[in-house]
């Protein structure tokens, strides 16, 4: 793979000389900039492995460009060009963060050697970052390599180091709890408590006392003071699962917690300060609930400072093989069973399912397969998922007229119309109207699928 090198020098002949020197000798592509301002514009639009920059330039000189580059791109390797006899400036540049310097005029062998070393440094930095990212990924309970999950992992990494409130949305079974735990495990609060609260399972009249605690005598049977879950999560994270199910009264009190960073136990006249990071989740459309006056709009915007939407399993079918591998290993160990795999036929069938229950439903199918399989490989007869029966062709047209009574071309076109509406309609339903994903399930190009859809009047809109 070619390295990208940016050469910055107001002397155009020098930049062209460097291009002619480096490109034939090294696997690289040289881009030229003739001022510091031009270099910054180029850096903002493309990624580079190395910058070679002259120190003395009109306007923005090499030192200023080095400082601004180091501030914005701290891992970018920079080599400075210095006129012969100006070694003091070159040494100063290294103190300011440059990797190396090259004296002008230069010997070809010398510059090739130094640029090779600089590119090797860049390669090692990139590799270290990649390995660190992989180690962080391996530590996460979430699994996936699809483009949809890559976006989720990027957002988790983005929000983990901060204390912003996060709202995780997605269908049931997509991994909202695991996402919340991932954020906590990568955050500075990872050594403190992670307190999950399943909001729908706690009656509302009890939920308030569970969250905020109470003082002795606050209500019947309150024989002693009791700390709430927010106090238990102090310095850590509280996860409010399925927050869309809580009532307006609790919403108001939670809004105060987010705004004021304090709680008031039942029966107490004084508020207590708490240092808690709040993560919430829901499988509901909160904006619809706001429109129906069932959810406070100000509370919603306080909750969703950052939102992470988890994709349904049908939108990341390519993750099913690695999900199966991980879930089988987990459940076999949990049930004290020997390691098992799935047959190719089973995997093919699993990748064709709509998975309404998402990863949780897939896991249940695999558990069934582990329990019922007598061999180390799970076969089709071991799982409760069966191939959908092929639909018989209906040879009866409108008003009971047999299609066979129609002319050949008309009969063929009618059957093709019905087949495409049934077949492609099913794929669009599985992908919620996503034409690109539907094309992948059909094993065809997006453009080809769109042509068929236009021909037979298929609109993806109703499936969204």
Q: Is the pLDDT of residue 405 over 80?
A: no
Torsion on CA atoms 97, 99, 102, 107, rounded to nearest 10: 180
Looking at residue 268, its pLDDT comes to 83
Looking at residue 220, its pLDDT comes to 74
Q: Is the pLDDT of residue 433 over 80?
A: no
Looking at residue 462, its pLDDT comes to 62
**Residue 2: pLDDT band with limits 50, 70, 90:** confident
Q: Distance of alpha carbon 146 from its chain centroid, rounded?
A: 9
Task: Tell me the sheet residues that pair with 39.
Answer: none
CA distances, 267 to each of 207, 212, 219, 228, 251 (Å): 15, 11, 8, 13, 19
Q: Quick one: which of 262, 260, 287 has its CA closest to 167?
A: 287
* pLDDT-wise least confident of 228-237, 374-383, 392-401: 392-401
CA distances, 161 to each of 183, 369, 449 (Å): 8, 40, 43
Instruction: Report the pLDDT averaged over residues 50-68.
Output: 91
Helical pair 62-72 and 36-45, crossing angle rounded to 10 deg: 20
Q: Is the pLDDT of residue 108 over 90?
A: no
- What burial class does residue 206 get, using C-beta atoms within 10 Å of its C-beta: 0-12 exposed, 13-18 middle, 19+ buried? exposed
Looking at residue 386, its pLDDT comes to 76
DSSP assignment of 134-190, as one string?
HHHHHHSS----SHHHHHHHHHHHHHHTS---EEEE--TTS-HHHHHHHHHHTSTTT
**Residue 429: pLDDT band with limits 50, 70, 90:** low
CA count, 13 A, side-chain hemisphere, 74: 2
Looking at residue 388, its pLDDT comes to 55
Measure the CA–CA gap between 118 and 129, rounded to whole angstroms. 17
**Residue 377: pLDDT band with limits 50, 70, 90:** very high
The mean pLDDT value of the chain amounts to 86
CA distances, 448 to each of 418, 431, 463 (Å): 18, 17, 19
* pLDDT-wise least confident of 40-54, 106-120, 225-239, 430-444: 430-444
Looking at residue 1, its pLDDT comes to 75
Instruction: Report the pLDDT averaged over residues 142-162.
Output: 90
Long-range CB contact pairs, 259-263, < 8 A, 24+:
259/302, 263/211, 263/212, 263/213, 263/228, 263/230, 263/231
Q: Are 40 and 67 in contact (CB under 8 A)?
A: no
Q: Is the pLDDT of residue 392 over 60?
A: no
**Residue 320: pLDDT band with limits 50, 70, 90:** very high
Instruction: Report the pLDDT averaged over residues 450-455.
Output: 86
Looking at residue 463, its pLDDT comes to 60
Q: Is the pLDDT of residue 73 over 60?
A: yes
Q: Quick one: which of 26, 214, 29 has its CA closest to 113?
A: 26
Looking at residue 66, its pLDDT comes to 92
Omega before residue 105 within 30° of 0, cis: yes
Instruction: Report the pLDDT averaged over residues 134-138.
Output: 50
Instruction: Report the pLDDT averaged over residues 53-77.
Output: 90
Domains contained in the chain, CATH given: 3-131 (3.40.50.2300), 147-309 (3.40.50.300), 315-382 (1.10.8.60), 398-463 (1.10.10)
CA distances, 151 to each of 46, 67, 101, 186, 278 (Å): 20, 31, 39, 16, 22
Strand, coil or helix: what is 431? coil
Please tell me which residue, 335 or 420, carries the higher pLDDT value: 335
Measure the CA–CA gap between 424 and 441, rounded to whole angstroms. 10
Element (H, E) at 87: helix 87-95
Tens digits of residue pLDDT in 186-245: 999 999 999 999 998 888 888 988 999 888 877 777 778 888 899 999 999 999 999 999
Looking at residue 143, its pLDDT comes to 86
Q: Quick one: which of 200, 294, 307, 211 has its CA closest to 256?
A: 211
**Using only C-alpha atoms, what is the Rg of the chain?**
31
**Residue 339: pLDDT band with limits 50, 70, 90:** very high
Q: Is the pLDDT of residue 404 over 80?
A: no
**Residue 454: pLDDT band with limits 50, 70, 90:** confident
Q: Which residues contact 296 (CB under 8 A, 6 or more apart)?
A: 248, 251, 252, 255, 290
Q: Against a cut of 0.75, is the pTM above it?
A: no
Task: Tell me the sheet residues that pair with 167.
Answer: 280, 307
Helical pair 87-95 and 62-72, crossing angle rounded to 10 deg: 20
Cβ neighbours around 71 below 10 Å, total: 9
Q: Are 345 and 379 in contact (CB under 8 A)?
A: yes
What phi-psi label fits residue 431: left (phi over 0), alpha (psi between -120 and 50 degrees) or beta? alpha
* pLDDT-wise least confident of 150-159, 301-310, 376-385, 433-442: 433-442
Instruction: Report the pLDDT averaged over residues 136-149.
Output: 72
């Amino acid at each position: 793979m070619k390295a990208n090198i940016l050469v910055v020098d107001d002397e155009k002949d020098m930049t062209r000389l460097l291009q002619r020197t480096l490109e034939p000798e090294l696997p690289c592509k040289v881009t030229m900039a003739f001022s510091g301002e031009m270099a910054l514009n180029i850096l903002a639009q493309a990624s580079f492995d190395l910058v070679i920059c002259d120190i003395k330039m009109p306007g923005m000189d090499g030192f200023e460009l080095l400082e601004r580059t180091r501030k914005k791109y701290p891992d970018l390797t920079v080599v400075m060009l210095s006129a012969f006899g100006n070694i003091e400036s070159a040494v100063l540049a290294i103190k300011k963060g440059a990797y190396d310097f090259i004296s002008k005029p230069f010997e070809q062998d010398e510059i090739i050697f130094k640029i090779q070393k600089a590119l090797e440094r860049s390669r090692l930095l990139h590799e270290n970052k990649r390995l660190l990212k992989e180690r962080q990924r391996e530590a996460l309970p979430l699994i996936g390599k699809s483009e949809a999950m890559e976006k989720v992992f990027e957002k988790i990494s983005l929000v983990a180091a901060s204390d912003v409130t996060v709202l995780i949305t997605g269908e049931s079974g997509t991994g909202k709890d695991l996402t919340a735990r991932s954020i906590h495990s990568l955050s500075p609060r990872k050594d403190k408590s992670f307190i999950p609260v399943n909001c729908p399972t706690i009656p509302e009249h009890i939920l308030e006392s569970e969250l905020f605690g109470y003082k002795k005598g606050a209500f019947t049977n309150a024989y002693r003071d009791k700390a709430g879950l927010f106090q238990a999560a102090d310095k850590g994270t509280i996860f409010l699962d399925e927050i869309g199910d809580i009532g307006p009264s609790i919403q108001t009190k939670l809004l105060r917690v987010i705004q004021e960073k304090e709680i008031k136990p039942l029966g107490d006249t004084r508020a207590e300060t708490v240092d808690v990071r709040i993560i919430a989740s829901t499988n509901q459309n909160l904006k619809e609930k706001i429109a129906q006056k069932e959810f406070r709009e100000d509370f919603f915007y306080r909750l969703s400072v950052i939102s992470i939407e988890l994709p349904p399993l049908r939108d990341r079918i390519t993750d099913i093989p690695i999900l199966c591998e991980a879930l089988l290993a987990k459940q076999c160990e949990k049930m004290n069973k020997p390691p098992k795999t799935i047959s190719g036929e089973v995997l093919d069938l699993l990748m064709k399912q709509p998975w309404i229950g998402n990863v949780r439903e897939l896991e249940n199918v695999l558990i069934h397969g582990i329990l019922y399989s007598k061999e180390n490989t799970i076969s089709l007869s071991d799982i409760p998922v069966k191939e959908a029966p092929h639909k018989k062709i209906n040879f009866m047209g409108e008003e009971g007229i047999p299609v066979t009574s129609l002319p050949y071309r008309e009969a063929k076109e009618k059957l093709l119309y019905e087949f495409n509406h049934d077949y492609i309609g099913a794929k669009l339903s599985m992908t919620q109207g996503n034409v690109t994903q539907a094309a992948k399930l059909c094993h065809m190009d997006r453009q080809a699928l769109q042509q068929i859809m236009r021909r037979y009047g298929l609109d993806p809109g109703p499936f969204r």
